[in-house]
């Protein structure tokens, strides 16, 4: 089953084309990575998928529904969750209060036991249980990133979009993140935008490469590593 697809998705800014005519298809249950050099259009593309950025042309289909014109909060209600490059947490609230807000947002549940269980499960999956009462703004940047992931998990998403999730994480935290993604396989569909090629190659079922706002290549990790065009455009510029 195809969970998410785009047709001719395009974004222009005053004559500058950030994303150009992208056709994309994401099967349910897959871990898909999107890679490419800085300025390739990755975050713009994801912003259009999530409803944060309006498209200039093209369509976005999610669960067989045209969501192109839907705002972000309605896409969340349909089963999308996302984290972006800049953390989006409530810094004055505790860790568990942040996750509880996310859990209530998707379920509209006032059942304290249900919310508490969602919070506990999400924090356990990202290894933040011991920081349950800590004020979110006092966390390290890496732990704030993990908290944002926990907030997404608490929504039990059908599609979890992660934009540079390992940015700011330590080597140990990155290893834990890789394990987390592998454990999530089958529970939710994951769209991963990531510069850390070790993470991409260790977790992705399929990789889509963007360059100058267009799809340059698509394939398995082994196929992408061997692709001469990808090597020239991107892999030769990063520590792969």
Domain CATH for 8: 3.40.50.300
Whether 172 maps to a domain, the answer reads no
Has residue 161 been placed in a domain?
Answer: no
Residue 196 pLDDT more than 50?
A: yes
Q: Does residue 36 belong to any structural domain of this protein?
A: yes
CA distance 99 to 13: 35
Per-residue pLDDT tens over the stretch 5-50 = 999 999 999 889 999 999 999 999 999 999 999 899 999 999 999 9
Give the residue with greater pLDDT, 114 vs 69: 69
123 in a structural domain: no
**95-107 helix and 112-125 helix, angle to the nearest 10 degrees:** 120
pLDDT in tens, 135-177: 999 998 888 888 999 999 998 899 999 988 888 788 988 998 8
What pLDDT is stored for residue 178 in this prediction? 92
Number of domains in the chain: 1
Predicted local confidence at residue 50, as pLDDT? 93
Q: How far is CA 112 from the centre of its chain?
A: 28
Q: Residue 14 belongs to what domain range? A: 1-79+186-240
Mean pLDDT of 65-72: 96
Mean pLDDT for all residues in the chain: 90
Q: How many other β-carbons are positioned within 10 Å of the β-carbon of residue 23?
A: 11
Whether the model pTM is above 0.75: yes
């Amino acid at each position: 089953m195809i969970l998410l697809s785009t047709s001719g998705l395009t974004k222009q800014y005053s004559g500058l084309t950030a994303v150009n005519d992208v056709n994309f298809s994401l099967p349910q249950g897959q871990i898909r990575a999107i890679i490419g050099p800085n300025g390739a259009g990755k975050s713009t593309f994801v912003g259009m998928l999530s409803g944060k950025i309006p498209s200039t042309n093209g369509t976005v289909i999610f669960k067989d529904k045209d969501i192109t014109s839907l705002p972000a909060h309605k896409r969340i209600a349909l089963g999308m969750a996302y984290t972006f490059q800049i953390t989006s947490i409530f810094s004055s609230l505790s860790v568990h209060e942040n996750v509880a807000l996310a859990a209530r947002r998707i379920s509209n549940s006032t059942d304290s036991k249900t919310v508490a269980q969602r919070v506990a499960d999400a924090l356990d999956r990202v290894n933040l249980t011991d920081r349950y009462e800590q004020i979110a703004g006092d966390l390290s940047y890496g732990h704030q990133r993990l908290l944002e992931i926990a907030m997404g998990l608490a929504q039990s998403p059908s599609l979890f979009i992660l934009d540079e999730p390992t940015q700011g994480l330590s080597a140990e935290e990155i290893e834990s993140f890789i394990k987390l993604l592998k454990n999530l396989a089958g529970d939710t569909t994951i769209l991963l935008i990531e510069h850390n090629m070790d993470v991409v190659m260790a977790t992705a079922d399929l990789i889509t490469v963007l360059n100058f706002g267009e799809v340059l290549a698509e394939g398995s990790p082994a196929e992408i590593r061997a692709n001469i065009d990808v090597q020239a455009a991107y892999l030769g510029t990063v520590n792969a």
